[in-house]
Amino acid sequence: MNPSVTLDEEWPGHQSVVDYKKNQKLRKVLAHLYTEGTCTLAHLTKVLHSSVPSVTNLVEELIDSKWVTTLGMATGSNGRRPVLFGLNTKHNYVAVLDVSTHDTKILFMNTQREVIFRGDYDLRLNDNPAFLTSLVSYFTDALTDSRLSPTDLIAVGISMPGLIDARRGLNLTYKNLSQTGESVTDWFSMQVGYPVYLINDTKATVLGESRFGGAKGKKQVLAINIDWGVGLGIIVNGEVFQGASGFAGELGHVQVDPDGELCYCGKIGCLNTVTSASALVKRVQRDILTGQVSKLAAFYDKVEQIDIDEIISAAHKGDSYAIDILHETGFQLGKGLAVAISLFNPEIIIVDGVLTKAAAFILNTIEQAISKYCLSDFRNDLTIELTQLNGTAKWLGTHAYMMEDIFANY
């Protein structure tokens, strides 16, 4: 599926000019209602540069196809109040499958991005075909549990870490997901009976921030996703920067320690080995076993129970070891970001991922490292913010990735 949405594509020869222009306007109506929520016919006439009768016919067609519905009356009008129109939230649901090396979340969302069902599952991304088979099973169960009519679901979007080739539907980091090397999206679609989209988790995050979060309206943005791995989402001139193969933003695989640990990618000393949540947990577990003085030493006989939440909790309780290790994580992240700032000159950096819960301990050291390793002129117009989307940016981005493509091909 094409990750970019172009509403003004070239005119296909098999359509008449009239049909082409009409479909183009229908797409614009859907795209506008998706981003703006509601609007009146009068407003749509300005958006489309069309007459009221023409726009009325378009909206009626979208109502008949269950894409649009009336949502009451507008407020603040002195005369007869105009009718508000918006996307129909009772039809055209999509599924978002949020896959990570830690767990899997399955959500069903309506056209206005509201979550109508969520299931959390102990299913971790593994590089073997059994993972996809399990994912299909969990998806089928979740659809049943959601009590949605299967006919009301129109698409499935899967976000996951790794080098995602969206054009071919492949994850080149996890090459054994499909037994025969077949497209992940094609195989999954055959199993579930819906169109399937595949997107890198960090690109989904930055798309969500760009459409609905702190990056909305911004042209040059970096979004760092500090999760079980470290990824960098990049917005250039208002659009997600993909790179030649769709792999741009793998900040977690920039080498920061030539004498460091082996990364799962096969390289030595990647930023992931120093700053990801999984690396942080492994380091703390190892230190506790070697006698590190800390509140976390209470887990000495059960270090496998130390997780990222326990580490952050210890830091909030004043544990100096936990605070120090989080400070060091933030500083290393800042060093990596300093390189990205020098390359892309962003106006804003948005910090997202599971480590945002440790913001009190990592944000200042991120900024200190940027100040130390980045030219001062790059910092003059730069702000660094925590996400305001409370962990939903990835889901919103996956939703937008699907819906924008669906609208573009309406």
Burial annotation 14-41 (CB, 10 A radius, 16+ → b, else e): eeeeeebebebbbbbbbbbbbeeebbbb
Q: What is the pTM of this model?
A: 0.89
Sign for the pseudo-dihedral over CA of 14, 16, 20, 23: negative
Q: How far apart are CA 180 and CA 186, in angstroms?
A: 12
Q: Which pLDDT score, from 0 to 100, does residue 311 have?
A: 96
Domain 93-204+394-408 fold: Nucleotidyltransferase; domain 5 (3.30.420)
Tokens of 209: 């921030």
Tell me what pLDDT residue 408 has: 93
pLDDT at 11: 52
Q: What is the pLDDT along the chain (410 residues), one digit of tens a residue?
A: 444 444 444 555 566 888 888 999 999 999 999 999 999 999 999 999 999 999 999 999 999 999 999 998 887 656 678 899 999 999 999 999 999 998 999 999 999 999 999 999 999 999 999 999 999 999 999 999 999 999 999 999 999 999 999 889 999 999 999 877 789 999 999 999 999 999 999 999 999 999 999 999 999 999 999 888 899 999 999 999 999 888 999 999 989 889 889 988 889 999 999 999 999 999 999 999 999 999 999 999 999 999 999 999 999 999 999 999 999 999 999 999 999 999 999 999 999 988 899 999 999 999 999 999 999 999 888 999 999 999 999 999 999 999 999 999 98
Give me the DSSP letters along 252-291. GGSBS-TTSPBPTTS-BSBTHHHHSHHHHHHHHHHHHHTT
Which residue in this structure is represented by tokens 């489309």? Answer: 48
Domain boundaries, the chain: 17-87, 93-204+394-408, 214-388
Residue 371: enclosing H or E segment and its boundaries?
helix 359-373
Distance CA 115, CA 108 (A): 6
Closest alpha carbon to 256 in 161, 326, 329, 312 = 329
On the 0-12 / 13-18 / 19+ scale of CB atoms within 10 A, 210 is: buried
Sign of CA dihedral 158, 164, 170, 174: negative
**Rounded distance, CA 257 to CA 274, Å?**
9
Q: Report the chain's C-alpha Rg in angstroms.
A: 23
Looking at residue 179, what is its pLDDT? Answer: 72
Q: What is the pLDDT of residue 7?
A: 40
Q: Which fold has domain 214-388?
A: Nucleotidyltransferase; domain 5 (3.30.420)
- Looking at CATH, the fold of the domain delimited by 17-87 is given as Arc Repressor Mutant, subunit A (1.10.10)
Which residues 6+ apart lie within 8 Å of 18 measured at CB?
none
Could you count the other beta carbons within 10 Å of the beta carbon of residue 124? 14
Q: Do domains 17-87 and 214-388 have the same CATH topology?
A: no
